DNA sequence: ACAAAAGTGTTCGACCTACACCCATGG
DNA sequence: CCATGGGTGTAGGTCGAACACTTTTGT
């Protein structure tokens, strides 16, 4: 309509990179997956893109991320965090869109309840197709951040049920990082970090020695001194 | 005019926390300063606020940060990096503003050329007054990020002239972190990092042993293997 | 010669890595 | 009793903090 206006409007969107752990279709190893949404409008009609939408005036940024997440996948994230804001002038043809991008982790039990719809599909995170806009770059950023942060922060707990064994937690780290970790050293690091505490119970029914169960330790942000 | 419209527009601004090093007015120790702009309109008329402005449709995010920086202080940053995006619904009374915030470092020589205007004033970073909007919180975030990042990244080079002594560079670290560092250990860490290289010359005219001069090493982003 | 900063060497402890070894259970 | 993963112990290497010590200049 008014394409001759000098100062065109900048529109603001919130998108989210959602990670979940599922077995790889070929190898069977648990790996990172993420949901993508098929675009039903130009530009990039038919291409896969990150779930997201325009920011509503009454909504906080994180709330917007949660909402599109619920709308597209029906999931509630166990962890949600702002990643970066992308605003290159030419990242969307014709119009100008600035995207504030969040990244999220969902628990496996939550993951199982995901809604199946034809326009939403899950992909192995390292094997996403060519996406709309600059979304491939965004996924790469999110993967880098996740892999960096899991080494110095207890976010892996967001990938694990309320009670878990250290082997499970190690499996999460191994799946995210894509390499094996020494069980003995992993145990010591985690326990020294104080982010988990034993429940006192053990997991039975395993084929061998019953492992101890742990839960997330209550956040103690007291400064000793 | 149309305040009854259901979906009000969200406006998008880019602001910047600019850091420079100057001597403290009382102690004389070099500390962090930052420029603030006095608001000449409601809301928060008369209060100090971060330099910034609305994002223009033809401008990248970082370019917008650079522009408002040049307009308000006349400075060019030696380092510019996105900090975070702030979008709480109530962060601005009446209207809805999302701010994408950058942080910047300026060299001392650049700093000296700063333009003096009545509506721009520099403050000691740890002694800023009560600011407009959520800008105190933003300044705190920026300070945290700067202090964290200087320990694992060579950004301190952005605070130092082309040729410098290791004592100068150490002074930058000490000013930012607010504590003394061991000269011997600092030297080894910096040299092991490979981010600086000796010019071969020494600084003369000091009252004692002439220190070697260094410059920033050319960025070698080659992957060995 | 002396003060003071530049620069080198050394020791200590924390932590990470690798790997040997014992423990407990289901088959 | 044996295979297998759970869990503990330990030796070697890296790295940073602390600090003694040598070097080099101006005064």
Domain assignments of chain B as residue spans, ordered by start: 10-149, 158-223
Rounded to 10 degrees, the C-alpha dihedral B134/B140/B142/B143 comes to 160
pLDDT at residue A196 tops 50: yes
Please provide the DSSP assignment of B81-107 as one string.
EEEEEE--TTSSSSS-EEEEEEEEE--
Least CB-CB distance to A100: which of B57, B85, B89?
A: B85
User: Over pLDDT 90: what percentage of chain A?
Assistant: 84
Q: Do A88 and B60 touch (CB under 8 A)?
A: yes
Please tell me which residue lies nearest to nucleotide D15, judged from CA to C1'.
B189
* A8 part of contact set with chain B, CB < 8 Å: yes
pLDDT at residue A71 tops 70: yes
CA-to-CA separations, A175 to A77, A144, A186, B160, in angstroms, rounded = 19, 14, 14, 43
Say what the pLDDT of residue A109 is: 73
Is B10-149 in CATH node 3.90.79.10?
yes
Tens digits of per-residue pLDDT, A10-53? 999 999 999 999 999 999 999 999 999 999 999 999 999 999 99
Q: Do B82 and A84 touch (CB under 8 A)?
A: yes
CA atoms of A32 and A123, how far apart (whole Å): 9
* A148 part of contact set with chain B, CB < 8 Å: no
Task: Give every CB contact of residue A211 below 8 A, 6+ residues apart in sequence.
Answer: A165, A166, A167, A202, A203
Say what the pLDDT of residue B225 is: 33
Please tell me which residue lies nearest to nucleotide D17, judged from CA to C1'.
B185
* B160 part of contact set with chain A, CB < 8 Å: no
Contacts of A96 in chain B (CB under 8 A): 57
**Residue A161 DSSP one-character state:** -
Say what the pLDDT of residue A57 is: 95
Contacts of B88 in chain A (CB under 8 A): 60-61
Task: Kindly give the confidence (pLDDT) of every residue in chain B, 225 residues in length, as a single tens digit, with 9 standing for 90 and above.
Answer: 444 445 578 999 999 999 999 999 999 999 999 999 999 998 999 999 999 999 999 999 999 999 999 998 888 999 999 999 999 999 999 899 999 999 999 997 776 777 778 899 999 999 999 999 999 999 999 999 999 999 999 999 999 999 999 999 999 999 999 999 999 999 999 999 999 999 999 999 888 999 999 999 998 665 433
Phi, psi of A95 (to 5 degrees): -100, 170
- Compute the nearest-CA separation of A88 from chain B (Å): 5
Nucleotide nearest to B207 (CA to C1'): D26
Question: Which residue does chain B place closest to A10, by CA atoms?
Answer: B57
Say what the pLDDT of residue B3 is: 42
Least CB-CB distance to B85: which of A59, A85, A96?
A: A85
Say what the pLDDT of residue A105 is: 97
pLDDT at residue A223 tops 90: no
Beta carbons of A142 and A33 less than 8 angstroms apart = no
Task: Give every CB contact of residue B79 below 8 A, 6+ residues apart in sequence.
Answer: B104, B105, B155, B158
User: Closest by alpha carbon to A165, among A134, A202, A190?
Assistant: A202
Interatomic CA–C1' length for residue B210 and nucleotide C1, angstroms = 20
Say what the pLDDT of residue A78 is: 96
Q: Which of B57, B61, B84, B138 is the best residue to mutate to test the A interface, defined by the most A CB atoms within 10 Å of its own CB? A: B57
Interatomic CA–C1' length for residue B80 and nucleotide C7, angstroms = 34
Q: Does A43 sit behind a cis peptide bond, omega within 30 degrees of 0 on the bond before it? A: yes
User: Closest by alpha carbon to A183, among A169, A197, A201, A195?
Assistant: A169
- Compute the nearest-CA separation of A67 from chain B (Å): 15
Q: Do A8 and B96 touch (CB under 8 A)?
A: no
CA atoms of A139 and A36, how far apart (whole Å): 11
Beta carbons of B186 and B165 less than 8 angstroms apart = no
Gyration radius (Cα) of chain A, Å? 20
Say what the pLDDT of residue A118 is: 87
Q: Which of residues 40-79 of B touch A (CB under 8 A)?
A: 55-61
CA atoms of A34 and A124, how far apart (whole Å): 7
pLDDT at residue A7 tops 60: no
pLDDT at residue A198 tops 90: yes
Question: Which residue does chain A place closest to B86, by CA atoms?
Answer: A61
- Section A59-77 average pLDDT: 94
CA atoms of A37 and A95, how far apart (whole Å): 20
CATH architecture of A158-223: Orthogonal Bundle (1.10)
Interatomic CA–C1' length for residue B35 and nucleotide D11, angstroms = 55
Say what the pLDDT of residue A113 is: 72
Interatomic CA–C1' length for residue B150 and nucleotide C2, angstroms = 38
> What is the CA A150 to chain-centroid distance, rounded?
12
User: Closest by alpha carbon to A132, among A95, A91, A104, A103?
Assistant: A91
CA atoms of B2 and B170, how far apart (whole Å): 57
Contacts of B99 in chain A (CB under 8 A): none
């Amino acid at each position: 309509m008014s394409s001759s206006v000098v100062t065109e409007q900048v529109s603001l969107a919130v998108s989210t990179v959602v990670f979940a752990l599922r077995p790889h279709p070929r190898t069977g190893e648990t790996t990172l997956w993420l949901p993508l949404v098929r675009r039903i409008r130009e530009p990039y009609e038919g291409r896969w893109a990150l779930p997201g939408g325009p920011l509503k005036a009454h909504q906080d940024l994180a709330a917007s991320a949660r909402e599109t997440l619920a709308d597209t996948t029906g999931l509630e994230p166990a962890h949600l965090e702002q990643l970066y804001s992308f605003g290159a002038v030419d990242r969307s043809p014709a119009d100008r869109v600035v995207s504030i991008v969040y990244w999220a982790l969902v628990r496996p039990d939550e993951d199982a309840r995901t809604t199946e719809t034809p326009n939403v599909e899950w992909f192995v995170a390292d094997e996403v197709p060519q996406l709309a806009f600059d979304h491939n770059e965004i996924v790469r950023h999110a993967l880098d951040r996740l892999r960096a942060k899991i080494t110095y922060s207890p976010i892996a707990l967001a990938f694990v049920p309320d009670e878990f064994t250290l082997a499970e937690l190690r499996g999460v780290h191994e799946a995210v990082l894509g390499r094996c970790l020494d069980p003995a050293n992993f145990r010591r690091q985690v326990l020294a970090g104080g982010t988990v505490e034993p429940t006192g119970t053990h997991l039975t029914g395993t084929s061998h020695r019953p492992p101890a169960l742990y839960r997330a330790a209550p956040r103690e942000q007291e400064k000793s001194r």
